[in-house]
Structure formats: structure tokens, C-alpha cells
């Protein structure tokens, strides 16, 4: 799961909010989504040597600066990712990586939110932002030709 450039596609509002649909947090998630302005923005997640970087509105192949960059640290304990992002807080996710089969050049990372804590973000508990950012869409990683 450690990789320099897990990426999501530029997702629609429906994709960003799908995990929250029909839950008690749906209204809060919609509030955070609209305040943060995520519409149509890709996201990259870098996990290397215990350091984590989340870039919103940035595709690793594009030279444009990201809209927002979050830095922090991470640790993997079995199939649990423990992530601490400065300013946002800490959270835990169950992770799973699917591979493309023989040759193993295409990978897909899915994170499932377990729990977390941190300061209020956009008027909602930090866990809403953390779930919105990291569990709304799977991350893809392509290595090699």
C-alpha cells in the first residue's frame, strides 16, 4: 500500500457523497462538501516512509498547484491504516488493495473509515471531512509501462 501517488478521478458530487447517502451524517457531509468546494477535483494520496501527503485538486501528472495540501504521518498495522494529518486530526481505515493480476502493474486501493478525531472542519466533526476525502472513491496506482 505504500506508494508515491495513489490517485482518484475528478469525482462528481454524487460520488463524493455516496458513502453518506441515507446516513445521519448526510446533511453534515453535504455542508462540508459545499464549503470545501471539492466538485470535479481529483485527489492524490502519498504514503512513503511513514510520511503522508494528501493533495486536493492535483493530478500527479499535471504541473498545476493543488487547491489544498495536507501533511502528516501514517502507520500500517495489519490491514489498518492509522493516519494523522496536521490540522485535520487522526483517523483509522481498513485498507484493501486489488491488483490487475499477472504482472501486477495496476492497483486499486480502497479505504473504509473506522474512526477518528480532530477539530471541527467546515462546521462539522473532523471525521466527516476525513471520510469524505479518503473513502468516497477508490485510489488507483499504475506502476510501469
Q: Which of 118, 137, 134 is nearest to 47 (CA)?
A: 134
pTM greater than the 0.85 cutoff: no
Residue 133 confidence (pLDDT) above 60: yes
Handedness of CA 108, 114, 117, 122 (dihedral sign): positive
Across the chain, what does the average pLDDT equal? 83
Q: Is the pLDDT of residue 145 over 50?
A: no
The helix (run of H) or strand (run of E) holding residue 83 is: strand 80-85
| pLDDT score of 132 | 85
Q: Which residues pair with 55 in a beta bridge?
A: 44, 69
- What is the CA 87 to chain-centroid distance, rounded? 15
Q: Stretch 65-94: mean pLDDT, rounded?
A: 91
φ/ψ of residue 55, rounded to 5: -115, 125
Local confidence band at 44 (pLDDT 50, 70, 90 cut-offs): confident
Q: How many CB atoms lie within 10 A of CB 54?
A: 23
Q: Which three cell numbers stand for residue 83?
A: 493516519
Q: How many CB atoms within 10 Å of residue 108? A: 14
Calculate what percentage of the chain has a pLDDT beyond 90: 34
Does residue 79 register a pLDDT over 80?
Answer: yes
Q: Is residue 17's pLDDT more than 50?
A: yes
Q: Which residues contact 4 (CB under 8 A, 6 or more apart)?
A: 46, 48
Query: Higher confidence at residue 7 or residue 145?
Result: 7
Amino acid at each position: 500500500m505504500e506508494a508515491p501517488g495513489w490517485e482518484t478521478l475528478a469525482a462528481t458530487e454524487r460520488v463524493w457523497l455516496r458513502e453518506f447517502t441515507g446516513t445521519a451524517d448526510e446533511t453534515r457531509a453535504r455542508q462540508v462538501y459545499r464549503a470545501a468546494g471539492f466538485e470535479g477535483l481529483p485527489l492524490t494520496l502519498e504514503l512513503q516512509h511513514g510520511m503522508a501527503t494528501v493533495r486536493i485538486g492535483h493530478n500527479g501528472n499535471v504541473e498545476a498547484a493543488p487547491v489544498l495540501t495536507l501533511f502528516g504521518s501514517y502507520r500500517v498495522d495489519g490491514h489498518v491504516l492509522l493516519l494523522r494529518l496536521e490540522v485535520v486530526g487522526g483517523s483509522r481505515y481498513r485498507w484493501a488493495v486489488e491488483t490487475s493480476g499477472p504482472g501486477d502493474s495496476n492497483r486499486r486501493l480502497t479505504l473504509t473509515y473506522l474512526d477518528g478525531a480532530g477539530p471541527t472542519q467546515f462546521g462539522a466533526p473532523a471525521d466527516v471531512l476525513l471520510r469524505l476525502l479518503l473513502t468516497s472513491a477508490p485510489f488507483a496506482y499504475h506502476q510501469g509501462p
